[in-house]
Chain A
Amino acid sequence: MFARNKIDNTRVLSSMKAKHQRYEALVKAFHADIFRYAYWLVKDRSVAEDIVQETFLRAWRSLDALNDEKAAKGWLITILRRENARRFERKQLELVDIDDVFIHDDTQQAEGDIKERELHRLLGTLSIEYREPLILQLLFGFSGEEIATQLDLNKNTVMTRLFRARNQLKEALEKQNQHRGQANG
């Protein structure tokens, strides 16, 4: 009986060890892009960090449910989106949608070509329904179908949103260039 217990214990220990290794691999492979995704969802570094921590905690607790390593990325994104939605339910009253109160900052406009800071700001002004598919495409290299599955949308809707997202960015950039042209001229 004791011998069997010992074998069971080592088996439990080695399966725990395997689970740890799996989790650490998951963290190393995805934490950076998952953080960036969270950041672009909420546009706040510390909130993003909180969500990422919650996400990985849940991932750890249900790691056994992840059968296919290839699905890990999508699985983490799904958990993260759920965590983000939960945060909204909790804090609905405290939050103001930044899109509605975005304050136009023109102190940076005199700084030459398309600056990263400007793009950063413009990305932030895209509404979430355009921004999210674009981030999935650019950050994770998802195809239209994959984005559609992830966001539970029709593929045509996704393609339209991607088109509109880039279109809006382009127009905004052109408008700024005109602006700057006028200001400089």
Chain B
Amino acid sequence: MDELEFRRRIYANPNTTDSDLVAAANADEKKRAFWQEQKALDNKLKQTLKVDVPEDLASKLIWQQSADEFSRYKKRSRWYVAIAASVAFAVGISFTMLQQQSISLGDHALAHMQYVDVEESHSLLPVDLNMVNAKLASFGASFDTMIDGVEVANYCHLSTVQSLHLIVDTPQGKMSVFVVPSRDNVKVPSEFEDDSFHGESFKMQQANIIVVGNKGSDLSTMKDAVANRIQFSA
């Protein structure tokens, strides 16, 4: 092996164990000395390369990883919260819409019956034909003559529907008459009842009339009385 080739290969890797290089070095003292010199230089170079590492570097690297993870976790949870909020919002909206689609007023009318005995007129004016008609006017309706025994005439809300609630004292006990404007999304059952009351309804041009009385009472008289007297303006 010539000198140049030997030097090239030792320079390329002083720690080589190639057998032909070893053989060449064994045969030539100068080559052996050159190799030793290179190995010594390499050891010094290795020492030189080992510059001091900042003491806290390892902890910094671990810390920045936790910080990165935390900020990503925060972003991720914000994302989840946003999704959850959207879902809740959508559920809320659809729930409301579903409810609106099928409001059934029977139960609401029955609920109002619970406090018929204690209900007082909201108005200080006497309950007479003028007053009742004034209130009916908002539904485009009026009575031509007064129904006997009307004690209270109040606006009330059956669910979300504004209605006129008349409490009438009759020989069969107190009855309620609800005048409910017709709306597409409101269903008025023709008959309904609970433990103490029952009700019936009928439809007129622009309104549903609901009559509710004590269980077992005959509602037909009242229904006829209302039907005969109420008039709707065109």
Binding site for B on A (CB under 8 A): 20, 23-24, 27-28, 31-32, 35-36, 39-40, 45, 49, 52-53, 56-57, 60-61, 114, 116, 119-120, 123, 134-135, 137-139, 144, 159-160, 162-164, 166-167, 169-170, 173
Q: What is the minimal beta-carbon distance from B129 to any residue of chain A, in angstroms?
A: 64
A159 x B12 contact (CB < 8 A)? yes
Interface segment among B45-53, B77-85, B95-103, B142-150: the answer is B45-53
A123 x B48 contact (CB < 8 A)? yes
B47 x A137 contact (CB < 8 A)? no
A56 x B61 contact (CB < 8 A)? yes
B48 x A116 contact (CB < 8 A)? yes
Select one of B8, B42, B44, B54 contacting A49, CB under 8 A: B54
If A60-B68, A116-B47, A119-B45 touch, whether A53 touches B12 (CB-CB below 8 Å) is no
Is B58's CB within 8 Å of the partner chain A? yes
B45 x A144 contact (CB < 8 A)? no
Interface residues on B, range: 20 to 34
Quick one: closest A residue to B8, CB to CB? Answer: A163
Q: Which A residues lie within 8 Å of B44 (CB)?
A: 114, 116, 119
Q: How far is the CA of A31 from the CA of B63 in the complex (A)?
A: 14
A56 x B12 contact (CB < 8 A)? no
If A45-B54, A138-B46, A166-B41 touch, whether A27 touches B12 (CB-CB below 8 Å) is no
Chain A CB within 10 Å, residue with most, of B44, B61, B68: B61
Quick one: closest B residue to A63, CB to CB? Answer: B65
B49 x A32 contact (CB < 8 A)? no
Select one of A36, A52, A61, A170 contacting B49, CB under 8 A: A36
Q: How far is the CA of A4 from the CA of B44 in the complex (A)?
A: 60
Q: What is the minimal beta-carbon distance from B93 to any residue of chain A, in angstroms?
A: 26
Q: How far is the CA of A61 from the CA of B61 in the complex (A)?
A: 13
Q: How far is the CA of A169 from the CA of B14 in the complex (A)?
A: 14
A27 x B62 contact (CB < 8 A)? yes
If A57-B64, A60-B65 touch, whether A35 touches B45 (CB-CB below 8 Å) is no
Q: Which A residues lie within 8 Å of B48 (CB)?
A: 116, 119-120, 123
A166 x B61 contact (CB < 8 A)? no
Chain A CB within 10 Å, residue with most, of B41, B51, B53: B53
Q: Which B residues lie within 8 Å of A57 (CB)?
A: 64-65, 68
8 sampled A-B residue pairs with Cβ under 8 A: A23-B62, A39-B51, A53-B64, A114-B44, A116-B48, A162-B13, A166-B41, A167-B11
A139 x B61 contact (CB < 8 A)? no
Give the 7 A-B residue pairs with the shortest CB-CB distance, closest first: A163-B11, A166-B11, A159-B12, A119-B48, A162-B12, A32-B53, A56-B61
